[in-house]
Copies of this chain bind each other. A is one copy, B any other.
Amino acid sequence: MRKLKITEMGRMNVEEFRASKKMPLIVVLDDVRSMYNVGSVFRTADAFRVEAIYLCGITAQPPHPEIHKTALGAEDTVDWKHFPTALDAVAYLKEKGYIIYSIEQCEESTMLNELDLSTLNAQSAGYAIILGNEVKGVHQEVVDASDDCIEIPQFGTKHSLNVSTTAGTVIWEFAKQLMIH
């Protein structure tokens, strides 16, 4: 099979991206330390036309050369906003009518393979997912303010996946249900 050339991939330019319909999903980063992870989430958010990224607490903001290294320009296409804390972002999103999921391993989390958005309230403005710090995860009080937790089932020795891997996997599941029909 022949690999496609970049010109054959039919990608949008920045203006087309800005004008395009987005997936109703907002990605909230709660004290994410690594700019590699921030950049990578921007790149994934561009690929799946995520509505916006909310950068909270210590999470670095563009423009920054370390974010650019993995975002490769996606930090200029995807909308973003900064909030002092993820709790502030959650309050803002609740007022706007978003359904909010912390991505965490909790008592009675919803497993990612069981996520079914078709049964949810059609009145919602959209969805938000919250990804936490590389070591500490999402703050407990942010989990408490969320509507539910989504957990990626894991079968090995380590306690968690990398933040950018987690973001990619979860955003992909939302994209399958909200973008790809």
**Distance A2 CA – B125 CA, assembled complex (angstroms):** 26
A36 within 8 A of B: yes
Q: Which residues of B contact A73 (CB under 8 A)?
A: 157-158
Cα–Cα distance between A77 and B165 once the two chains are bound (Å)? 19
Contact of A44 among B2, B70, B161 (CB under 8 A): B161
- How far is it, in angstroms, between the C-alpha of A123 and the C-alpha of B13 when the chains are bound? 45
Task: Give A154-167 as 1s and 0s: 1 = Cβ < 8 Å from B's Cβ atoms.
Answer: 11111101101111
**Residue-wise interface mask of A (57-94) relative to B, using a CB-CB cutoff of 8 A (1 in contact, 0 not):** 00000000000001011100100000000000000000
User: Which residues of A come within 8 Å of B, CB atoms?
Assistant: 1-4, 6, 9, 11-14, 16-17, 20, 36, 40, 43-49, 70, 72-74, 77, 104-109, 112-113, 137-138, 140, 143-144, 146, 148-149, 152-159, 161-162, 164-169, 172, 176, 179-180
